Amino acid sequence: MALIVAGVLFVGIAVLPVGLMFVESLRTPQGVSLANYSSLLTGSRQRVLLTNSFLLALSSSTLAILLGAPLGFFLAKTKLGLRPWWRLLLMTPLLIPPYILGISWMFSTDMLRLLGWGNWAGLLATWTFSLPGAVVILSLCYYPIPMLVTEAALNRVGVRLEEAAWLVAGWKRTLWSVTLPLVHPSVAAGFLLVFILSLAEFSVPALLRVRVFATEIYTQFAAFYDFGAATAAASPLLVVILIIAFLIRWLLGERIVSSRRSLNSSPLMTPSSWLPFGKLLSVAVLMVGILLPIASLAMKVDRPMTLWRSTDNSTAEIGSSLALSATAAVLAVGLGLFLGYWRARTNVRWKRVADAVWISLFALPGTVLGIGLVRLWNEPGLMSFYGTWGIVIIGLVARFTPMAALLLAENVRQLSVSWEEAALVHGAEWWQTFGGIVIPNLKKGLWAVGFLIFVLAFGEVAITILLIPPGRSTLPLKIFATIANSPDSVLASLCLFQTTVILFPLFVASGMIFRPRRPSAKEVRGLCL
């Protein structure tokens, strides 16, 4: 029942507006036709752009895996002190919007010059504005995704499975032939996520003048104002993404890697001699991925006054941005939880269609969804709602629920079905099982997905600008409306400011989440009663 409600809700707020835009794309002055689509395939220009997009996404996701998977391994399998803080530091690039990283990389040439490394600066300057430059920046943004996914998967692999192999094979072969095969579906899921994100990413290629398909869609909206053609322009990207997604599914199947958690026996660890290598890699990644960009930004802020002035009068925007993204995250996770649960547990034949719908909705440019929502909701009867924050929240929820559903479905698959069956058989109603068994075991996943959506919603601009009530603003909107003709120092300080506003709640939240586990039994009891 609840699942049906969630499904209807999802169709209402996310599928309907996009469907409306799709219908629009079929309408041409000559009546219903595929003209908008056929014109996409005829140009050689489009082919070049699509190839570039594909190359960008493929290389970015590969590089992100090459960085992220070893780091995830390092976090999960070495005897590391202060592990949560390492993890936190290593995941920060994901939380900084890509365009801020892009801007800081552009500034980094100046920094190198200032440090007296003019030759390097010249090299970097020419190299940044190219496909490889975009690949490096995007993979530095997104490597935390495969890192976190890999770490989580490694931790989930049953200790007993590993130990069984360890006895006969030694730890090296165990890692190679038992542990890694068990985690590679998760790593592949991370790959897919990065692939979609970098294929749909618009700001960094635009900044670095790399010609990709995402900018083409944008051009349709920004230069030609033809909604139908613009929506159609998104279809080649969707096709590429869906092909990749189903290729991965087909290669891996819906494997369930479930195991009993074990608290008292520690997972298989690599020898301590590996630790320095892991630390070295992490420090290197952190230097390039965080320190360099932030230092470059900080260097541009010539007067502390600039930083202070740019943050002045933004309290309202910060407040609404935080509340808006928190609300959107909660609602999207709530809705995504039901959808993801349904997806993981259903046996319906067309369950794969749900995957396709989610992936498409997630990869579709926000503008398509935004305009669809305006068309759908801007009705005189709904005025009391359309002109409020509520519609922005609907937009953000519609934007991020598909991702929540995809990720949470993956999480639910890791839960043993028999836990739920045991509850059901022993008299629990469906919702008791859901609230008492499923949700508590998904807790970590819910927090992680919620935080990811919070961060993405915080930086969202495309939908917000279309739906924001007049007279209101969010922090990124304000920054966007301010940076155009501002000097570098203001631009840099605003970027730094937004970074701080995103990272601050992270460090607060992590203080809450990463506090020493194992609460006392009494506490656990109290929580459950």
Partner 1 sequence: MSPSEVFLKLNALSKSFNGRKIIDCLDLEVYAGEVFCILGPSGCGKTTLLRMIAGLELPDQGSIEIGGKIVVENSRTRMAPQNRRIGYVFQDLALWPHLTVAENLEFVLKAHGISKKSIASSVGNMLNLVHLSGFDDQRPETLSGGEQQRLAIARALMGNPLLVLMDEPLSSMDSQLRGQLRQEVLQWIKELGVTAVWITHDQNEAVTVADRMAIVSKGCLIQVGSPDEFRKRLSDDSVRQILMDVSSNRDVDTNWRG
Partner 2 sequence: MRNSCNKGRVLSRRLWKSPWGLVILLSGIFLSVSSCSRRHREDAVVIYVSTDRPFSEPVLQAFEKRAGITVKAVYDTEETKSTGLANRLLAEKNNPQSDVFWSGESVRTLMLKRNGILAPYNSPSASAIHSTFKDPEGYWTGFSARCRVILYNTNLVKKGDAPKSVFDLIDPKWKGKVTISDPRFGTMSFHAAALFVVLGDEKAARLFQDLQENEVRVSPSNSDVRRLVENGEMALGLTDTDDANTSILSGKPVAFVYPDEQGMGTPFMPNMVSLIAGGPNPESGRKLIDFLLSPEAEEMLAKSEAVQIPLHPSVSLPKSVRSLSSLKPLQVDYAQVATRLEEVIKILQPILGL
Least distance in angstroms from the C-beta of 442 to partner 2: 12
Per-residue interface string for the shown chain with partner 1, residues 276-315, x marking contact by CB under 8 A: ----------------------------------------
Could you tell me if 352 and 421 are in contact, meaning their C-beta atoms sit under 8 angstroms apart?
no
| Chain position carrying tokens 């495969």 | 146
Candidates 5-13, 38-46, 415-423, 475-483: pick the segment binding partner 1 (CB under 8 A): 415-423
422 binds partner 1 (CB under 8 A): yes
Least distance in angstroms from the C-beta of 89 to partner 2: 22
Name the burial class of residue 65, with classes exposed (0-12), middle (13-18) and buried (19+) by CB atoms within 10 angstroms of its CB: buried
Question: Of these partners, partner 2, partner 1, none, which one is at the site of residue 525 (CB under 5 to 8 Å by kind)?
Answer: partner 1
Residue 133 CA to residue 127 CA, distance in Å, equals: 6
Could you tell me if 71 and 145 are in contact, meaning their C-beta atoms sit under 8 angstroms apart?
no
Question: Of these partners, partner 2, partner 1, none, which one is at the site of residue 424 (CB under 5 to 8 Å by kind)?
Answer: partner 1
Phi, psi (rounded to 5 degrees) for 31: 105, -170
Could you tell me if 106 and 492 are in contact, meaning their C-beta atoms sit under 8 angstroms apart?
no
| Closer of 379 and 429 to partner 1 (Cβ) | 429
Candidates 4-12, 334-342, 436-444, 452-460: pick the segment binding partner 1 (CB under 8 A): 436-444
Least distance in angstroms from the C-beta of 426 to partner 1: 4
Candidates 59-67, 114-122, 400-408, 521-529: pick the segment binding partner 1 (CB under 8 A): 521-529
Per-residue interface string for the shown chain with partner 2, residues 456-495, x marking contact by CB under 8 A: -----xx--xx-xxxxxx---xx-xxxxxxxxxx-x----
521 binds partner 1 (CB under 8 A): yes
Window 238-277: residues binding partner 1 (CB under 8 A)? 260-264
Residue 464 CA to residue 242 CA, distance in Å, equals: 27
Window 37-56: residues binding partner 2 (CB under 8 A)? 45
Least distance in angstroms from the C-beta of 395 to partner 2: 12
418 binds partner 1 (CB under 8 A): yes
Could you tell me if 464 and 483 are in contact, meaning their C-beta atoms sit under 8 angstroms apart?
no
Residues 6+ apart with CB under 8 A from 524: none
3-state helix, strand, coil in the chain (%, to 5): 80, 0, 20
Residue 471 CA to residue 317 CA, distance in Å, equals: 11
Per-residue interface string for the shown chain with partner 2, residues 93-132, x marking contact by CB under 8 A: -------------x--xx--------------x-------
Q: Of these, 423, 457, 483, 490, which contacts partner 1 (CB under 8 A)? A: 423
Question: Of these partners, partner 2, partner 1, none, which one is at the site of residue 416 (CB under 5 to 8 Å by kind)?
Answer: partner 1
221 binds partner 2 (CB under 8 A): yes
The distance from CA 168 to its chain's CA centroid, rounded to whole angstroms, is 40
Least distance in angstroms from the C-beta of 270 to partner 1: 23
Candidates 166-174, 215-223, 331-339, 520-528: pick the segment binding partner 1 (CB under 8 A): 520-528
Residue 512 CA to residue 311 CA, distance in Å, equals: 27
* Nearest residue to 77 via CA among 275, 258, 261: 275
In SS3 terms, 153-220 reads as: HHHHCCHHHHHHHHHHHHHHHHHHHHHHHHHHHHHHHHHHHHHHHHHHCCHHHHHHCCCCHHHHHHHH
| Closer of 271 and 487 to partner 2 (Cβ) | 487
| Closer of 181 and 440 to partner 1 (Cβ) | 440
Candidates 245-253, 266-274, 381-389, 409-417: pick the segment binding partner 2 (CB under 8 A): 381-389
Least distance in angstroms from the C-beta of 393 to partner 1: 31
Q: Which two tokens stand for residue 43?
A: 């140009």
Q: Of these, 211, 279, 351, 352, which contacts partner 2 (CB under 8 A)? A: 211
Phi, psi (rounded to 5 degrees) for 420: -70, -40
How far are the Cα atoms of 193, 248, 462, 464 from residue 142, in angstroms, in the given order?
A: 9, 19, 20, 23
Q: What is the DSSP annotation of 255-266? A: --------SSSP
Candidates 73-81, 270-278, 352-360, 372-380: pick the segment binding partner 2 (CB under 8 A): 372-380
Residue 474 CA to residue 482 CA, distance in Å, equals: 12
517 binds partner 1 (CB under 8 A): no
Window 58-87: residues binding partner 2 (CB under 8 A)? none
Three-class secondary structure of residue 32 per DSSP: strand
Residue 380 CA to residue 383 CA, distance in Å, equals: 5
234 binds partner 2 (CB under 8 A): no
Candidates 279-287, 315-323, 368-376, 426-434: pick the segment binding partner 1 (CB under 8 A): 426-434
181 binds partner 2 (CB under 8 A): no
The residues binding partner 1 (CB under 8 A) are 260-264, 416, 418-419, 421-430, 432, 436-437, 440-441, 443, 521-522, 524-525, 528
